[in-house]
Structure 1
Amino acid sequence: MTDHSAPSAHTSVPKIAIIGGGLTGLFTATLLERELAKRQESKVQITIFEKSRSVGRLATRYRTDEKTGNNWQWGFGAQCFTVKTDRFKQFIRPWLDSRLLQPWLAQVVHLTLANEDGHMPQIEPKEQWDTKHARYISTPKMTSWGRALADELQHTRIAFKTRVAPLHKAHFVEENSADSKTELFDEEGNSLGGFDWVICTAPNAQALELMADSGFARQADITKPKMQACYTLMLGWDEVPQLPAIFTSQASVRWDVAYVNNSPLDRIFIEHQKPAHSALLPSVTIHARNDWSETHVDEDIETIKAQLLTAAKQALNWSAQTAPTQIDCHRWRYAATIVDDNKSLGILVDQRHQWIVSGDWCGHGNIESCYKIAAETVRAITEGM
């Protein structure tokens, strides 16, 4: 449920603010509602403040062919996710049953670029994703799951296009009054209301700015995880016969995902071969390597697009007749979390202020981390109730 009005003041109902409507924020709201329903505490008020017009962060971009009305579609954020724990598997079960989430049993290969002699790129089988070690996607778009999560919330408001201003010490009420502990403001200085708990799920660089002058007890820990950028190249063709031979040749191994060797490119995903995507026009999403992206993160996007196109042409070996007709490029400034020694940070809790800094970067930076971090946040809040 969504609402653009401000929270009501002067009420004893517990109020919780979540900054950020990505998956961590949505999972946190979902788990909070479920836990509080078990405790018969249905009067809690949760507000998600989201700076954009949508939720979920499982980004999808599409274009429509004016002649046919069919779409090219690119999942230019997270392509898929794994499920490694029983708790997360149980959590996603309703959406698996409804087929909104589906396993992607992709054929995965290694791809080595064509050399200067004009030979075809080399493809070698890597693995087949199976039902035991499945990767999952959201259908018909990667954004569909986030929207479904938002629609199913019962006691949560989502305030879209709302940027929360950095917190300051003056915004915290030392002695908890009947209606609030922390007052939040938007960037224009308008009050967003008072809250008993404030949960920040933004990327750590943004969390660092939001909490910089607040007196947050765990401020120094926000900088511990290192994040890297990612550039994403999106390519489309008008019809299957126009695809380069690497996709269609009978002599070539059939594949859905390619790990690229010795290139700025990291992985190539064939969108129209995913489950429930067969109606798409030929669409291919390419993620650049995170280390390469981080090195070039502040460069002109058109320059980057040209460099990635050159690498993509080497990888896919297209000619003038088989070149893509749709080309786009996106920069994710905070895409991958670097975890030292496989140890994650965990949520950062300031009990005095009742502030929590969380996000997938507090874990391993993947979608299951969003769930684990959300569950950890809910435990921190409800244990004291």
Structure 2
Amino acid sequence: MMATHKDSIRFTAIMTEYASISTDTLSSKIAIIGGGLTGLLTATLLERASSQNDNQAITPHITIFEKSRSVGRLATRYRTDSDTGKNWQWAFGAQFFTAKTKSFQAFVAPWLDTRLLQPWCAKVAELTPASESQHNNAQSPDIKSKEQWDTVHARYISTPKMTSWGRELAAALKHTDIVFKTRVAPLVQFTQSPTQHQNEKHQNEKQTELFDETGASLGWFDWVICTAPNGQAVELMAGSGFSQQDNITEPKMQACYTLMLGWDDSQPLPETLNNQMAPQWDVAYVNSTVLDRIFIEHHKPGHDGLLPSITIHARNDWSQIHVDDDIEAVKEQLLQAAKQALDWDENSAPSQTDCHRWRYAATIVDTDTKALGILVDESKQWIVSGDWCTKGNIESCYQAALQTAQTIGQAQQA
């Protein structure tokens, strides 16, 4: 098939970024701690850089250690109605992402072509709950149309689930092993006796041996890349002599609680959702001391077959204050706030309710301060990376992965 002009533009954009990634030593053993998007994208970029080398014998040997049983961190939760066989579905992590740089636009383009990633042209409203409405004696929430997202400044979602893209990235990796349900111990928690591994040969003195939380060896690696949230990265690197340790805590992160609601097919929906008394909307910015945004899941592209499903994100500042509270108590507070916002009664109350706590959800971005960037200890060949190193969004995962791949390449050229 003849390459199109659009394909050439994509290839040029991506290869410009890869140009600074040396492929001479990508046969090194690389450990990535964390199988979220930053970890998956880092492995992807390292593998792609290697594939451009004429010497096919030079390939990366990458191992991703993931403490959970899945990858991607674009979290999706669902339940199945036993009567209808239909699902409720909630994207209870990131609801969407943007692609503002040419490099990231080129990277995501193939998945847009396959429709695994799709733009969400949502109708956005501003919602003031009844008790906080500016109208005197208001009995209903005040909903006003705000904007409609477009394809020029697109917000992308993964279909049929937000987890689908992460799983596709993982499935495409050819030289990467993903080890699930494995917690890597802090890098100095277990020490090696003088007689251990005395006959083992290593490529260089910079190799690091990793252990799991039981003390079992996970192997020796030339590069160790930690992609955990910075609160966890601090613990993993504490006492290790990591030269950038003090900088890990520089970005400040806040928590987020997510409330998930669902309605049965036979139930009436609250009037705020059935468009009889308000403009049609898909996303609502909430004027509330507790709630931040409301997302209507069954309005998303490719989600038409879902039962009515609503995801609500609490405000980050409110979530941080209550981060250590009992989650059932938090859930009750969120339900009360959601009832005020959506105005349901006994007949239209949700039949499905769930709540999730994210301890490290949002990076506080100081627009006057330069982004931290990934943290590198060249003497040990350790890197601490993640979306929190820049703006804390999904494109930041890609930027951190790209910086990591470039750093490893440039270190070999020195």
Does TM, scored on the shorter chain, surpass 0.5? yes
* Counterpart in the other structure of 1:303: 329
Q: Partner of 1:140: helix, strand, or coil?
A: coil
SS at 1:90 equivalent: helix
Sort the Cα spacing of 1:123 and 1:188 in 2 relative to 1 into closer, same or farther, 3 A.
same
Count of residue pairs the alignment pairs up: 372
* Map of 1:285 onto structure 2: 311
Cα deviations across residues 40-92 of structure 1 (Å, max 9, x unaligned)? 46432000000000000001000000001100000000000011111000000
**Equivalent in the alignment of 2:245:** 219
SS at match of 2:411: coil
Question: Residues of 2 paired with 1:125 and 1:84: CA distance?
Answer: 25
Question: Could you tell me which residue of structure 2 aligns to residue 138 of structure 1?
Answer: 158
Residue of structure 1 equivalent to 2:126 = 110
For 2:288 and 2:91, how far apart are their aligned partners in 1?
24
Residue identity opposite 2:160 in structure 1: P
What residue in structure 2 maps to residue 168 of structure 1? 188
SS at match of 2:104: helix
Distance 1:342 1:320 in 2: 49
SS in structure 1 of the partner of residue 64 of structure 2: strand
Q: Hey, what does 2:107 align to over in structure 1?
A: 91
TM-score (structure 2 length as normaliser): 0.87
The aligned counterpart of 1:6 is none
> For the Cα contact (< 8 Å) 1:263–1:311, is it kept in 2?
no
Identity of aligned residues (%): 67
Picking from 346, 360, 371, the partner of 2:398 is 371
In 2, the alpha carbon distance for the partners of 1:360 and 1:383 equals: 21
CA distance in 1, matches of 2:405, 2:303: 35
Which of 64, 70, 87 matches 1:54?
70
Q: 2:170 aligns with which of 150, 175, 191?
A: 150
Listed as ranges, the gaps of 5+ residues in structure 2 are 1-25
The one of 33, 51, 55 equivalent to 2:47 is 33
Deviations 1:197-239 (A, max 9, x none): 0000000010000000110000000010000000000000002
Task: Provide the secondary structure at the position in 1 that maps to 2:131.
Answer: coil
Does residue 210 in structure 1 map to residue 232 in structure 2? Answer: no
Q: In the aligned structure 2, how far is the partner of 1:76 from the partner of 1:103?
A: 18
Of 70, 74, 77, the match for 2:90: 74
Residue 362 (structure 1) aligns with: 389
Does the CA-based 8 Å contact 1:240-1:282 persist in structure 2?
no
Cα distance, 1:339 vs structure 2: 1.9
* Aligned mates of 2:77, 2:176 — CA distance in 1: 27
CA distance, structure 2, for counterparts of residue 263 and residue 242 of structure 1: 28
Q: 1:339 to 1:115 in 2, by over 3 A?
A: closer
1:234-253 equivalences under 5 Å are 234-239=260-265, 242-253=268-279
One-letter amino acid of the structure 2 residue matched with residue 55 of structure 1? V
Which amino acid is the alignment partner of residue 42 of structure 2? T
Counterpart secondary structure, 2:332 = helix
Instruction: Report what 1:347 is aligned to.
Output: 374
Deviations 1:83-122 (A, max 9, x none): 1111000000111111000000000010001138461100
State the distance in 2 between where 1:289 and 1:13 align: 45
Question: What does residue 301 of structure 2 align with?
Answer: 275
Q: Which amino acid aligns with 1:277?
A: H
Amino acid at match of 2:364: I
Q: Is the 8 A contact 2:121 2:150 kept in 1?
A: yes
d(CA) in 2 for partners of 1:153, 1:374: 15
Structure 1, gaps ≥5 residues long: 1-11
Shift of 1:241: 5.3
Residue 127 of structure 2 corresponds to residue 100 of structure 1: no
CA distance in 2, matches of 1:18, 1:85: 25
Secondary structure of the corresponding residue to residue 243 of structure 2: coil
Question: TM-score normalized by structure 1?
Answer: 0.93
Q: In the alignment, is residue 231 of structure 1 matched against residue 247 of structure 2?
A: no
SS at match of 1:231: strand
Hey, what's the Cα distance between the residues in 2 that align with 1:200 and 1:262? Answer: 36
Matches of 1:154 and 1:167 in 2, distance apart? 27
Say what the alpha-carbon RMSD is for the aligned residues.
1.8
CA distance in 1, matches of 2:268, 2:370: 46
